Amino acid sequence: MGLCKDFVNGIVSLVISVAITIALAGDDDSYTLSDVALSVAISAFLSGFFTSYFAE
């Protein structure tokens, strides 16, 4: 049950972070929006997952 909760926390963190990143993205051409969204998604998921995992 604990791993499922950790996974859900990671998904929630991912969704919130990607939504905010896409909403606030500028028109700078140094990176594409999909590159930035992917990096934020990976970072947010791992952050939410491991924070939940190690908090117990």
Question: Rounded to an integer, what distance in angstroms lies between the CA atom of residue 34 and that of residue 45?
Answer: 16
For position 1, what pLDDT does the model report? 60
Q: Which among 17, 10, 6 is positioned nearest to 46, based on CA atoms?
A: 10
Question: Rounded to an integer, what distance in angstroms lies between the CA atom of residue 35 and that of residue 50?
Answer: 23
Q: For each of the chain's 56 residues, which pLDDT tens digit applies?
A: 678 888 888 888 888 888 888 887 777 767 788 888 888 889 988 888 888 888 86
Query: What is the maximal distance between C-alpha atoms in the chain?
Result: 43
C-alpha Rg value of the chain to the nearest Å? 13
Inter-residue contact 52 to 9 (CB < 8 Å): yes
